[in-house]
Amino acid sequence: MRRVTFPKTVCASVLSTLVAMFFLASFTSAETLDSVRQADHAFRQAFEKKDQSALDHLLDAEFIWIDANGHKLARTEVLQNPPSVANADVKSQSRVYGDSAVVRVNRGRMNVLRVWVKRRDGWRVALYQEVLQVEKSEPPGGKPSVECVNPCKTIPYQPNTQSEKEAIASWQGVMKAMARNDANAYSPLIADEFTATDTYHDRPYTKADRISQIAEQKQSGKRSAPPELLNAEMFDFGVTVLMVAREQRPGGKAYFNTRAWVARDSRWQMLFSFNTRIE
């Protein structure tokens, strides 16, 4: 897997190379969008037909399935008894980031996320996750007026690559900014196309929504620490990093929160947060 790092000082030739790589990635993304859509269509067809041979070809080696109830399945479990795909007849929205792609299929309160990664023998799906949002948003969680230690300062996970390490540092920057109600620190660490989709709200939230929430929280004088990380898995896809985390609000149920980051503008920016409560 490729690692992407951004040292504080780089020579002009290296900088030019990075710029060229960025534009190449953008060009490649446009070229490969159709192939991602074809692979995603094959994925839906394979589940509809319960075609285990086709699924064996399409599912990545470390494939993860998380349904709307927070039931998590590994690749072998999915192959043994393929579950049903939600929103299978809904037109998807896809974005390509280098050798990975994000596919969203939403209808009403049911939101579906699929993350694809390009391997030597083609596109493979690394994650399938569902979020069924509530009819009316629930009050925010988090510990009021307490110091944020986990995840702001330390987490029970050791990164395996430099890219993972940098993505975690970016995420902790986001958590600190939210704990301090600091929209100026939050904004540059979040991609413009960012959405937060979770079981606790009645709709996905955009970057602008989140910044507005932080501003309202600051004006009210309220501060709260983010939910603690219980455990996590991370996947380094080169210009993107994926985290499937298990977290818990104080007094609440645990949930799976999947996030992804992209290397952009000399920093790691969060692309999405996708949160499924474990029922």
Q: Locate 159 and state its tokens.
A: 């990164």
How are strands ordered across the β-sheet holding 205-206?
205-206, 190-198, 267-277, 254-264, 240-248, 228-236
Is the CA virtual torsion 271, 118, 125, 166 positive or negative?
negative
130 with 276: CB under 8 angstroms? yes
Which of 257, 260, 269, 111 is CA-nearest to residue 192? 269
For the chain (279 residues), the mean pLDDT of every run of 10, in chain order, is: 45 41 47 92 97 97 98 98 96 95 97 97 97 87 73 97 98 96 97 96 96 93 89 98 94 94 96 97
Q: Locate 60 and state its tokens.
A: 């990545």
pLDDT at 144: 64
pLDDT at 25: 44
pLDDT at 140: 61
- Domain ranges in the chain are 12-132, 143-277
Specify whether domain 143-277 bears CATH 3.40.50.720. Answer: no
Cα–Cα distance measured from residue 54 to residue 79, given in angstroms and rounded to the nearest whole number: 10
pLDDT at 19: 39
Place of tokens 């990664």: 117
Per the confidence metrics, is the pTM higher than 0.85?
yes
3-state secondary structure of 198: strand
pLDDT at 143: 61
Q: Which residues does residue 232 pair with via DSSP β-bridges, in sequence order?
A: 245
How many helices, marked H, and strands, marked E, lie in the chain?
6, 14
3-state secondary structure of 253: coil
Cα–Cα distance measured from residue 247 to residue 275, given in angstroms and rounded to the nearest whole number: 9
58 with 46: CB under 8 angstroms? yes
User: Angle 110-116-121 (CA atoms, 0-180°, nearest 5)?
Assistant: 150
State the amino acid at position 25 in one-letter form.
Answer: A
**Fold designation for 12-132:** Nuclear Transport Factor 2; Chain: A, (3.10.450)
